[in-house]
Protein backbone atom coordinates (compact mmCIF):
# COMPACT_ATOMS: atom_id res chain seq x y z
CA UNK A 1 0.00 0.00 0.00
CA UNK A 2 1.47 3.36 -1.01
CA UNK A 3 0.30 6.91 -0.54
CA UNK A 4 1.78 8.87 -3.41
CA UNK A 5 1.84 12.51 -4.43
CA UNK A 6 2.63 14.11 -7.79
CA UNK A 7 3.22 17.65 -8.99
CA UNK A 8 -0.37 18.04 -10.23
CA UNK A 9 -1.68 17.68 -6.66
CA UNK A 10 -3.18 14.28 -7.38
CA UNK A 11 -2.98 11.88 -4.46
CA UNK A 12 -3.06 8.13 -5.10
CA UNK A 13 -3.31 4.95 -3.07
CA UNK A 14 -1.94 1.82 -4.71
CA UNK A 15 -4.03 -0.30 -4.93
CA UNK A 16 -7.20 1.80 -5.10
CA UNK A 17 -9.57 -1.05 -4.13
CA UNK A 18 -9.24 -3.68 -1.41
CA UNK A 19 -11.37 -6.80 -0.83
CA UNK A 20 -11.51 -9.00 2.24
CA UNK A 21 -13.74 -11.64 3.80
CA UNK A 22 -15.45 -11.08 7.16
CA UNK A 23 -13.24 -12.63 9.85
CA UNK A 24 -10.08 -12.23 7.75
CA UNK A 25 -7.01 -10.66 9.35
CA UNK A 26 -4.81 -8.49 7.13
CA UNK A 27 -1.41 -6.92 7.69
CA UNK A 28 -1.08 -3.55 5.96
CA UNK A 29 2.38 -2.23 5.18
CA UNK A 30 1.86 1.43 4.32
CA UNK A 31 4.53 3.65 2.75
CA UNK A 32 4.26 7.42 2.44
CA UNK A 33 6.13 8.13 -0.80
CA UNK A 34 4.78 11.67 -0.84
CA UNK A 35 6.19 14.99 0.23
CA UNK A 36 3.48 15.72 2.80
CA UNK A 37 2.06 14.05 5.90
CA UNK A 38 -0.42 11.33 4.91
CA UNK A 39 -2.83 9.08 6.76
CA UNK A 40 -4.34 5.70 6.15
CA UNK A 41 -7.70 5.41 7.86
CA UNK A 42 -10.45 2.82 7.42
CA UNK A 43 -14.11 3.41 8.18
CA UNK A 44 -17.60 3.93 6.84
CA UNK A 45 -18.23 6.89 4.58
CA UNK A 46 -20.32 8.57 7.30
CA UNK A 47 -17.71 8.05 10.03
CA UNK A 48 -14.94 9.32 7.76
CA UNK A 49 -16.99 12.42 6.81
CA UNK A 50 -17.50 13.27 10.50
CA UNK A 51 -13.83 12.70 11.28
CA UNK A 52 -12.82 14.80 8.24
CA UNK A 53 -14.92 17.73 9.53
CA UNK A 54 -13.22 17.46 12.94
CA UNK A 55 -9.74 17.35 11.38
CA UNK A 56 -10.55 20.47 9.33
CA UNK A 57 -11.24 22.29 12.63
CA UNK A 58 -8.24 20.76 14.44
CA UNK A 59 -5.63 19.81 11.77
CA UNK A 60 -2.90 18.96 14.29
CA UNK A 61 -5.04 16.52 16.27
CA UNK A 62 -3.37 13.22 17.13
CA UNK A 63 -5.00 9.91 16.24
CA UNK A 64 -5.46 7.26 18.86
CA UNK A 65 -7.42 4.83 16.77
CA UNK A 66 -6.36 1.32 15.78
CA UNK A 67 -7.92 1.82 12.31
CA UNK A 68 -5.72 4.83 11.44
CA UNK A 69 -2.04 5.68 11.06
CA UNK A 70 -0.37 9.00 10.31
CA UNK A 71 2.99 9.11 8.53
CA UNK A 72 5.54 11.78 7.81
CA UNK A 73 7.07 11.89 4.30
CA UNK A 74 9.17 8.78 3.70
CA UNK A 75 7.80 7.04 6.80
CA UNK A 76 6.41 3.49 6.80
CA UNK A 77 3.81 1.96 9.10
CA UNK A 78 2.15 -1.38 9.72
CA UNK A 79 -1.39 -2.07 10.80
CA UNK A 80 -2.96 -5.43 11.57
CA UNK A 81 -6.73 -5.50 11.26
CA UNK A 82 -9.39 -8.21 11.52
CA UNK A 83 -12.49 -7.42 9.48
CA UNK A 84 -15.61 -8.14 11.50
CA UNK A 85 -18.61 -7.22 9.37
CA UNK A 86 -19.42 -7.50 5.70
CA UNK A 87 -20.07 -4.18 3.99
CA UNK A 88 -18.68 -1.35 1.93
CA UNK A 89 -16.14 0.89 3.60
CA UNK A 90 -13.42 3.24 2.49
CA UNK A 91 -9.81 3.88 3.27
CA UNK A 92 -8.70 7.45 3.10
CA UNK A 93 -6.37 10.23 4.12
CA UNK A 94 -8.32 12.92 5.95
CA UNK A 95 -5.51 15.47 6.09
CA UNK A 96 -7.10 18.70 4.76
CA UNK A 97 -7.28 18.75 0.95
CA UNK A 98 -6.08 15.21 0.39
CA UNK A 99 -9.45 13.45 0.24
CA UNK A 100 -10.54 16.01 -2.36
CA UNK A 101 -7.26 15.34 -4.21
CA UNK A 102 -8.21 11.69 -4.63
CA UNK A 103 -6.59 10.03 -1.63
CA UNK A 104 -9.35 7.51 -0.88
CA UNK A 105 -10.35 4.06 -2.03
CA UNK A 106 -13.01 1.40 -1.75
CA UNK A 107 -12.73 -1.33 0.87
CA UNK A 108 -15.17 -4.23 0.47
CA UNK A 109 -15.73 -6.91 3.09
CA UNK A 110 -17.75 -9.94 1.89
Over residues 56-99, the pLDDT tens digits come to 888 777 767 888 998 999 999 999 999 999 999 999 998 888 88
Q: Where are the domains of the chain?
A: 2-109
Q: What is the pTM of this model?
A: 0.80
CATH 2.60.40.420, applies to 2-109: yes
pLDDT of residue 7: 43
Report the candidate in 110, 106, 96, 101 with the shortest Cα–Cα distance to residue 45. 106
Distance, CA of 21 to CA of 16 (rounded, Å): 17
Q: Is 102 exposed, middle or buried (0-12, 13-18, 19+ CB in 10 A)?
A: middle
Distance spanning both ends of the chain, measured CA to CA: 20
Of residues 10 and 14, more confidence is placed in: 14
Average pLDDT over residues 6-28: 84
pLDDT of residue 100: 86
Percent of the chain with pLDDT over 90: 51
Distance, CA of 50 to CA of 20 (rounded, Å): 24
Amino acid sequence: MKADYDADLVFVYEPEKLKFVAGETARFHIINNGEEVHEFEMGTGDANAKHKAMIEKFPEMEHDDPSAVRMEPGEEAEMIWTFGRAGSYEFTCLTPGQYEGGLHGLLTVN
